[in-house]
Structure 1
Amino acid sequence: MTGLTPALSAPASPGARTVTDAVRRAAPALLAFACVRLLSLTVLAVWSRAAGSSPRQLLSGRWDAIWYTRVAEHGYGFTLDLGGGRVHSDLAFFPLLPWLERGVAACSPLTAADAGLAVSAVASLFAAWALFLVGERVYGRRAGVVLAALWAALPVSVVQSMAYSESLFTALAAWGVYAVLTGRWVWAGWFALLAGATRPVGAAVVAAVWVAAALALASGGRWRTAWRTDRRMLLGAALAPLGWLGYVAWVGVREGGALGYLRVQGGWGNGFDGGLAFAAFVGGRLTGPGYVSGLVLLAAVALVLWLYVRGVRQGQPLPLLVYAGVVLLLALTAKGYFGSKPRLMLPAFPLVLPLAVALARLRTGWAAAALGALALASAGYGAFWLNGTGPP
């Protein structure tokens, strides 16, 4: 078992020189991830049958999945006027997932909705692969395997199997951060560009690329000769924001103003207020008859913040901390749809690294038992969640 301390200076594994070797090396992580997800889907199928609902409908035909499918089938332009200034526009949804749904549906017998499920399934495996590589590089191979399995067993991980954009975004973000850690700047820029075309929080990947590049150029005064010696780094940094900026700018032109995307989000009741609305929501729970749920919310937020601080103390590389910090900040300071916050934090995989390190230090049997228990709890909660209120 390799040491569980940061090892950023370690060279890439000689055995990972080809795609086949790389897949073989990641196979334990991918197998563990697939087993956890299969357990979740099995429990969902059994639960849904008992409840008289359709697992396929739950995974591909409700909430945001409907909006993505509609964009894939008809393009942008649909709005739903709810009155009182609440106007739901499909422009709130970034385009990469519906583009992929349309492309897969066009060259296969799948519907756009089923194509969304296929994209999420494939993307989640690529996300697990990237998580393994990040964990392996920073804390060793065993931690990488556990990290992939843990991400599959998070309480709201059923979203990874839905026709939502979380799996696609996490895959692009994780590969982008890994590219930064390994000095592959142009790849990092492309992954950040695609992540920025997938979700608004793509800005977190851009921040990770930019901060890492800025620090690298600042060390030893490299910025003075960057145009001659670090052109690939500069190119990666230039590519990084184009996906996010391109879509926001397009919406601005369509809506007739630079703040067009913010107005679209406002119509959904979203936006950023520094966390005031979320604090008021939690406070309302604490002072009302449902004070227990308020206490649970406080405990959950405290746990998430503790995991982030723990990552800092463990010496996680700065790109990981920047990425996770921005995802966490945007999730906690957004107003509206408070029930969505757990899934909004799902892409913040570096928060799980301290737990992965702790489990990786256990004997194999104990670690497997702990992961199995978490997977069962996650599968049960996911089935209960989707057959109930579910993710808005």
Structure 2
Amino acid sequence: MSSALRRSDDPRETGRGRLAGPPGVLRALAVFAAVRLAGVVVLVLVDAVAGRPFGMSLAHRWDSVWYLHIAEHGYGTRLRITASGAVQTDWAFFPLYPGLIRALRGLLPVTAGRAGLLIAWGSAALAAWGIYAIGHHLYGRRVATALVALWAVLPQSVVLGLAYTEPLFTACAAWSLYAVLRRRWPAAGSLALLAGLARPNGIAAAVAVAVTAVHEVVRQRGRASPGLLAGAVLGPLGWAGYVLWVGGRTGDLVHGYLQVQSAWNSHLDLSAGPLRFLESMPLRGSWVTYPVAVFVVVAGIVSFCRLYLDRAPLPLLVFAGVLLLLVVAVSGPFSCKPRFLLPAFPLLIPPARALARAWPSVPSPRARLLCGGLTAVSLVYGAYLASLAGQPL
């Protein structure tokens, strides 16, 4: 079935008439929570062995430091001068996550780090719920469960337990895409707006909503409901609004945000930067982090091709395609690219469907061993990535 708004063939498996809470979601969320809670425990233990303060790797490394500083002191209060002389400012970081941290601190007597973790963990659970809802709506319970389980054990899924923005972005994007699939256009646009306020690549959600809306207008021979138009218009407002605000602060409305990102060595170069990096990779960097990053990106490209050949719904294809394009075509630390692909959960649909077909109703010892092995690798590599690796996460 090639429709952009494809549903499961079995009406008992679609959960029609309900926005959320399809059968089996609690079990899938329990599996997800168990895996990611284990990841948090491993990180805490690694920090303790290394003599670091409690929760150091969870909330006070790499980008987390910038988000927490913005939450406590606002924008324009922190900059860093690199070895090349570039001035990196906090304007590169989008406002939704630090804004929520500040709001939560106003409600609860918690530190910024703890507020950031509470928001990230809650968002990760909401994201897993949204991913399950999409998988159940399209393919049924077993595929949905496999989809959430695979998302939980990705090599880069350690980020879901840190004070980072990927959980928040994925939650907004997943429920926006679910709303598109259910033709709830104002909700889809509003959630895409929030996704655009969460991360620079949040524009992918707005593009998915807009492209699907245009497809619907064409399919209906030019007829468009007010709700559909509202959703398409709302989607990009968050992302565009922040980019223009940064442009206004820098004095260059159109190019200001691009200049800010350029100082972070992030600019569109149509994959020339990544290719130059790959050429020199054997001569520098980690012998673990970079090969894993290359494997994840290549696997993402292969999975996207399979997703296209399987004629997946249009909004999922567009969303995953835009995220993948940004990973391939935008320069930046190559070790971060798997993290940028973490929200692209539709790329896991082909392996999730294959796993659901091969998985018996009662898992065999071999299947349990496979799942245990994937979980162990994810936890060990995640702890290394977040606590021990010298490359940016």
TM-score w.r.t. the length of structure 1 is 0.91
2:232 pairs with 1:244: no
1:194 and 2:189 matched: no
Structure 2 CA distance for aligned equivalents of residues 303 and 13 of structure 1: 29
CA contact (8 A) 2:133 2:178 kept: yes
User: Structure 1 residues 155 and 256, CA, compared in 2 at 3 Å: closer, same or farther?
Assistant: same
Q: Does 1:309 align with 2:305?
A: yes
List alignment gaps of at least 5 residues for structure 2: 1-5
Decide whether the 8 Å contact of 2:120 with 2:168 is kept in 1.
Answer: yes
Specify the alignment match of 1:265 in structure 2.
261
Cα distance change, pair 46–113 in 1 and its aligned pair in 2 (3 A) = closer
Instruction: Quote how far apart the aligned CAs of 1:45 are.
Output: 2.6
| 2:345 paired with 1:349 | yes
Amino acid at match of 1:282: L
Asked whether the equivalents of residues 189 and 237 of structure 1 are also in contact (C-alpha less than 8 Å), the reply is yes
CA offsets 1:269-318 (integer angstroms, 9 cap, x no match): 111101101101101125x4889777666544332211111111222111
Cα deviation for residue 219 of structure 1 reads 1.1
Q: Sequence identity of aligned pairs in percent?
A: 41
- Contact 1:120/1:168 (<8 A) preserved: yes
Aligned-partner Cα distance in 2 for 1:8–1:250: 42
Secondary structure of the 1:365 match is coil
Please say if residues 94 and 200 of structure 2, whose CA atoms lie closer than 8 Å, have aligned partners that are also in contact: yes
| Residue number in structure 2 paired with 1:3 | none
Bigger shift: residues 239-248 or 376-385: 376-385
Which amino acid is the alignment partner of residue 113 of structure 1?
G
Shift of 1:211: 0.8
**Partner of 2:257: helix, strand, or coil?**
helix
Partner of 1:323: 319
1:76 match: secondary structure: coil
CA distance change for structure 1 residues 17 and 378 in 2, over 3 Å: closer, same or farther? same
Shift of 1:354: 1.1
Shift of the 24–142 alpha-carbon distance from structure 1 to 2, 3 Å rule, reads closer
Between Structure 1 and Structure 2, how many residues are aligned?
A: 380
Query: Residue 53 of structure 1 contacts residue 387 of structure 1 at CA under 8 Å; is this kept in 2?
Result: no
SS at match of 2:331: coil
Question: What is the identity, as a one-letter code, of the residue corresponding to 1:166?
Answer: E
Alpha-carbon separation, structure 2, partners of 1:250 and 1:93: 12
Question: How much does 1:231 deviate?
Answer: 0.7
Give 1:386 shift: 1.8
Query: Is the CA contact 1:86–1:269 (under 8 Å) kept in the aligned structure 2?
Result: no
- Report the AA paired with residue 352 of structure 1: L
Q: Alpha-carbon deviations, 1:220-240, whole Å to 9, x = none?
A: 41x2x42xxx11000011100
Structure-2 separation of matches of 1:87 and 1:386? 25
Q: Distance in 2 between matches of 1:295 and 1:60?
A: 26
When structure 1 is superposed on structure 2, of 181-190 and 366-375 the one drifting more is: 366-375
In structure 2, the partner of 1:365 is 363
Q: Deviations over 1:312-342 (max 9, x none)?
A: 1222111101000000110121112111111
Provide closer, same or farther for how the CA distance between residues 199 and 303 of structure 1 changes in structure 2, counting only shifts above 3 A: same
CA contact (8 A) 2:13 2:136 kept: no
Deviation string, structure 1 residues 139-164 (Cα, Å, up to 9, x no partner): 11111111111111100111011110
Are the equivalent residues in 2 in contact too, given 1:155–1:382 (CA < 8 A)?
yes
**Quick one: structure 1 residues 190 and 295, their matched pair in 2 at CA, closer, same or farther if it must change by over 3 Å?**
closer
> Aligned with 2:87: secondary structure?
strand
Q: What is the alpha-carbon root mean square deviation over aligned residues?
A: 2.3
SS of the aligned residue for 2:21 comes to: helix
Q: Which stretch has the larger CA shift, 351-360 or 234-243?
A: 351-360
Q: CA deviation at 1:66?
A: 0.6
* SS across alignment from 1:70: helix
- 1:180-191 to 2 correspondences below 5 Å: 180-191=180-191
Alignment match, 2:250: 255
Residue equivalent to 1:206: 206
1:202 CA displacement: 1.1
Segments of 5+ residues of structure 1 without an aligned counterpart are: 1-5
Q: Distance in 1 between matches of 2:287 and 2:163?
A: 32
User: Is the CA contact (8 Å cut-off) linking 2:196 and 2:203 kept in structure 1?
Assistant: yes
2:114 is the counterpart of 1:118: no
Contact in 2 for aligned 1:48/1:383 (Cα 8 Å): no
Q: Is the 8 A contact 2:268 2:331 kept in 1?
A: yes
